[in-house]
Structure 1
């Protein structure tokens, strides 16, 4: 049953995109734990929720007109849908991205601890100036998500921090902001130079905002793809799908200056990283930067080449649902003869799904850990 029991009543909550067949709930024990804790907190001031996974916390606190800060387009859309289901007027909740200007004042800060410690560090730095001695700060997460390093971040950026006892494998973080605390500088965004053996982008400098996949160095899967990118020429529309910091799309743009390249990711931090990377290295190329659910909504038959390194986990859940959605939308967006190039771990078996969707799938390159696959759009959608 996908209903969360809260003091205001039961909430019918969903993840986004909404899938009636999915059995994953839109909240967990950490959300329930912090909502019980907030029952004893004065919420009449400015309430900010950081990192709500699917909008459960924001929807449950909607009566207090909270502000949500999130890096995830999918989380933001899930929140909008859950607010709609709860009958909450859109203007009653303020939705901000992690790239937006943060609130001026925060009286209650609820932090859903993210998987990325770097993203938590960056966002605490950004929100800390709005806190004061009376701000109530409560973090929440599953026990396996809260580490000593997590608590150290709260201590270093906000003030004295302690944890609660665990309940149903969830834990709370209590932090008391110290206005006199001298904070270190926010180290994000960061840059690093690419290695010398990755084609058109060799030696270039990449910008990474906090939370972006492999922000410290080039990941080995992307490196493998860069070493085997197709050689293309002429006017065409290329999409870097799940672009991260944009190095794959940048390589495609530099390899074919006549191409138009679209960078797409559901992370606001990722798209900001891609835009900064491209602007610094190739301001002359024709580019678009989009935060959305992959290629869902892209006009049919409008793309010539899609380059993709799909994720296989969402928060703590692993699976191929995200990759399947990416592949399906990519096929719909490709023109006849258009190509989808995918790099993935060998054990994920993406070739099976690509053959089912496209009718065939070619192995471009492989090594002991990764494969690069090529699927060509032919015929009409099935």
Structure 2
């Protein structure tokens, strides 16, 4: 079934993404994976090619590309090239941090942060999750207290992607003076640059996506200028909730891209590999399995495409985003598992893209809110 999602401009952008993958990532990716760290050169090269901060207005150095199909093209090319850790790093920067600055940041704040995010000179992380507060952000304990014209932030964040490589983090902190679960007006968002009092803990050794660094962050009375408050005080949870659809759409888009890539790699493998004198694809079990997988891939792409177009039109609400994230991430988890099985012993070897995709896709049902939370969001919408 042919997709009718992309237009000429998207395909031109695809060519740029393909060339970037081949020139700037492919020669170095294995080393980044071994180092558990993407080189800073990659970020500035991406900025040079116009691949970062796509939605940033021209006044702040961007191209103002608010059509999410361009981000989808990037994901597809990262998946085809098996550069999944770079895809995650980009999502954190562009889909988790950037929307908050665009929607709620003052003109001064945008002027100080957005140009560097576009050029890759400023790499960002989103610092909301804590050891005791994951999907339920009302439980955050990191606090910000007013000190003259500044804020002092103290606390700890965990599981922070780009936590080591990043130059700054979008931090959710309590500004109500409390230390436990609070109301929706208990927290605020801040852009916090690395400096005195801002330190990273040990790099966390993930099961997959190793080139994308993940760490704990520590804040010890970090002084943050009042101008780096994002939006209004006390509205951090409201802002985070409002931006959830884009983050969850990003996960669905990545899921669909990985599912398609793994399916295509498995078709190639089963046609090339023989057993008992026959190609693996010629066994009825294989053909049945691949028929099911292709159907799921195409259904998922159709669902994600519809969600993308709804997002472009401003019509992707929280429950709809939860549904598409739930479906796509569950499908890619299942698809990579079945494709790995069809690779036999080779599927268990990390040299093969299916093994890396299997490990990477396992994050997608957890990242951006666990799928248990997605089910609860959808269920509560049904029960209204």
Q: What TM-score does the superposition give when structure 2 sets the normalisation length?
A: 0.25
If each structure's strand is expressed as a fraction of its own residues, which one has the higher value?
A: 1
Whose helix fraction is larger, Structure 1's or Structure 2's? 2
TM-score between both structures, scaled by the size of structure 1: 0.25
